[in-house]
Structure 1
Amino acid sequence: MLLIDLTHNAAAQFVGMILTFIVMNWIVFHNRKVLLLLSRALLFVLLSTFLYAHDSTPFSPNAAGSMSVTMIALLGAKAAWWFVGSACLVGLVRIFLIFERKPREARLLQDLVVAVLYGGAFLAVISYVLSVPVGTLVATSGVFAIILGLALQSTLNDVFSGIALNLGRPYTVGDWIVVDDGAEGRVVETNWRATYLINGANDLVTIPNSSLAKARLVNRSGPDISHGASVKLRFAIMTTPVAVVEVMETALKGANAILQVPPPTVKICSLDTESIELELSFRIASLADGVRANNEIFDLAFRHAKAHGIRLAGAAGSVRAPEPSSQGANPGTARRLVNALPLLGSLTEDEKEALSAVMTRRTFRKGDLIARQGEIMNTILILRSGVVSIDRDGTELMRLSPGDWFGEGGLLTETEEVGNITALTPLVAYEIDRDTIAALLKDRPTIADEVSAILSRRLSEEKRRLAPHDAAKPPLSLATRIRHIFNIEEF
């Protein structure tokens, strides 16, 4: 009979619901956020049913009268109804942010919504449960709010600036931003007070939200991670400006560290009697590629300019350097290419001279197929001018520019080409054939060891960058393969 009386007692029912909820949340569903939300929703439904069953609603003020145990239970149920309902809404807000996959940068907005929900629940409890006029309470607290606001003016400025920044979303966590005062870095956190950046020196930079709200920001990660960049170069007047522009456009076509879509551009910035200034604009895949792209562009600009006989000029207003003397030793094009070829760096001056004397000059038109994928080349081609593209199955692997070479793998070790080699622009190259290399190796067989060391590093680089499964074939050393191919005895 006692058990039946307890099941019909409002206070017992309310206490039972609360105890069950506490046990389920703190013991059974601990660290299970979805189940916690479901248990809160279930408790909210039970509280609603409990209030309805006892002819009470959360929105009705309490009737004046004596406070019985049942009345206290109903008051507790009303208060719990408001706070549990707010907790359910808070859980839905958090789930929405998780599905948005951007919970960190929306933390300020999330905290603001949570504060509004729980603040509303608190005022509702005061009004409907405690029967205290909310208007009087708000008017009384307004005086203290004014005093507190004046005392915390700077902090509140940062808080509301943080809310405005999170609503406007000029940046998100992970973006690289630049502030007009020179500060820049990657956003790692934003909270009520400040935004934190990691700069290029891996230092933590703290910027108050109020300062960011007033500053001019440049988001280098928007609208996508690709980033535009440019370099400026000055060239001596030795030909027409259009010809210099064409040379630099060709240099940009040979770059591997930049995007070719949208195509890079070359703009004439200034022109005087002694020099022409150009701006080379291009786009990189991400800010991390910036240094590598800049270095490559400067290198290619120098190589292409040198290949076409164009000199770099000094800064505007600087003293012009004297023209190089045309008298004395001035090696020809073939000899200069041999001197610059690391693969043949171990040759003596006499061997380089003999090699350059028998090199053959070859030209290719734009679009010519120089070698097919899987072909074993019997010559080494050193680029004098132009750009070569290497692609496999329709995917471009890399581009080569003046001073680069290819074909050494097939000539020395019978390695197949990793892709189709095509002239991307009109091309001039110098060729070293198998007979010339064979004569050098027979005169001095130790060249095989010297060449194999350099070739091994080059093939390892190609393996890592282009075709991991296409690098060298048999387990023989490169030096052994070279001796075997050219019939050179071991020493």
Structure 2
Amino acid sequence: NGREVAVGAKQIVLNAGTAYGGAALHENQPMLDQVTALSHVRLHRVDHATVEEALAGSLKDTIHMNEVKKVLGDVFLFKNLTEGQVERLVRCLERRCYAKGDPIVKQGEEATDFYLIQSGTVRVMKDGQQLRRLGRWDYFGERGLLLQESRSATCLAEEACVCFSLDKTAFSDVVGSFRRELEHRMNLQDLDVTMADLRLRAVVGQGNFG
């Protein structure tokens, strides 16, 4: 109960029921922030070994999966899912490791999985030309699954990479309720629209952002 404040580069006030120190616990390292009580405070302190034993597994993996759950909740494809649906989605993910230069998907092959990058960099190539690079918590592979078409590009591990994959069946179950909306948005990306095709309706703002 009570309040306390973590003093560091950024001052944060913590209230009753708030946990802190997760990052240090994750790495089994000392906390770097100074924490000062602003009022009478009662704390529950748990060490690394106790938490690992209680979780009956790797604390690092558990924290990573909680992070994945949060990331998926922010992904447009899954933003309308309930918390329970996101949890089921996380349980369906398979962790895959790739060495530098390994192809993750190849242009023209059948689309079988959706991918979420946990670590590393992925190079996206089409017809031998590099289109972009993807990094941590970027995702790819949804287009082929949604539109039921072959892979439109090749994705290569630019360095050692770890990805979470979701197979076609699980992906379809998850997005089934709003599949048509997603397909429509995907198809709009294929339209060739020029300035001549557009009409000015109103000026909604002005500024020097680009």
- TM-score range relative to shorter protein: 0.5 to 0.7
Confirm whether residue 454 of structure 1 aligns to residue 182 of structure 2: yes
C-alpha distance in 2 between matches for 1:364 and 1:460: 32
- The runs of 5 or more residues in structure 1 that have no matched partner are 1-317, 469-491
Partner amino acid for 1:379?
D
C-alpha distance in 2 between matches for 1:319 and 1:392: 44
Distance 1:459 1:362, change over 3 A: farther
Cross-structure match for 2:151 = 417
Residue pairs, 1:164-183, within 5 angstroms = none
Q: Is the contact made by 2:143 and 2:186 (CA closer than 8 Å) also made in structure 1?
A: no
Q: Is the contact made by 1:361 and 1:428 (CA closer than 8 Å) also made in structure 2?
A: yes
TM superposition shift of 1:337: 3.0
C-alpha distance in 1 between matches for 2:126 and 2:118: 24
- Higher share in helix: 1
C-alpha distance in 2 between matches for 1:338 and 1:459: 23
Distance 1:404 1:458, change over 3 A: farther
> For 2:130, what is the secondary structure of its paired residue?
strand
Q: Is the contact made by 2:117 and 2:163 (CA closer than 8 Å) also made in structure 1?
A: yes
Residue pairs, 1:68-467, within 5 angstroms = 319-321=9-11, 325-326=20-21, 332-440=66-174, 445=176, 447=177, 450-458=178-186, 460-461=188-189, 463=190
Partner amino acid for 1:325?
Y
Which of 1 and 2 has higher RCO (CA within 8 Å, sep 6+)? 2
Partner amino acid for 2:77?
L
Quote the RMSD (CA, aligned, Å): 2.9
TM superposition shift of 1:424: 1.0
After superposition, give the CA deviation of every residue in 1:356-388 in whole Å (9 maximum; x if it has no partner): 112111111111011111112111001112111
Instruction: Give TM-score scaled by structure 1 length.
Output: 0.26
Runs of 4+ in 1 over 6 A off after TM superposition: none
Distance 1:414 1:345, change over 3 A: same
TM superposition shift of 1:452: 3.4
TM superposition shift of 1:430: 0.8
Q: Is the contact made by 1:343 and 1:455 (CA closer than 8 Å) also made in structure 2?
A: no
Q: Is the contact made by 1:388 and 1:424 (CA closer than 8 Å) also made in structure 2?
A: yes
C-alpha distance in 2 between matches for 1:396 and 1:332: 33
Distance 1:459 1:431, change over 3 A: farther
Query: What is the total number of aligned residue pairs between the two structures?
Result: 140
> For 1:332, what is the secondary structure of its paired residue?
helix
TM superposition shift of 1:415: 1.9
Distance 1:388 1:373, change over 3 A: same
> For 2:132, what is the secondary structure of its paired residue?
strand
The sequence identity of aligned pairs, in percent, is 24
Distance 1:352 1:319, change over 3 A: closer
Distance 1:427 1:456, change over 3 A: farther
> For 2:88, what is the secondary structure of its paired residue?
helix
After superposition, give the CA deviation of every residue in 1:72-99 in whole Å (9 maximum; x if it has no partner): xxxxxxxxxxxxxxxxxxxxxxxxxxxx
TM superposition shift of 1:455: 4.5
Distance 1:438 1:391, change over 3 A: closer
Distance 1:388 1:460, change over 3 A: farther
TM superposition shift of 1:440: 4.0
- Higher share in strand: 2
Q: Is the contact made by 1:376 and 1:411 (CA closer than 8 Å) also made in structure 2?
A: no
Instruction: Give TM-score scaled by structure 2 length.
Output: 0.57
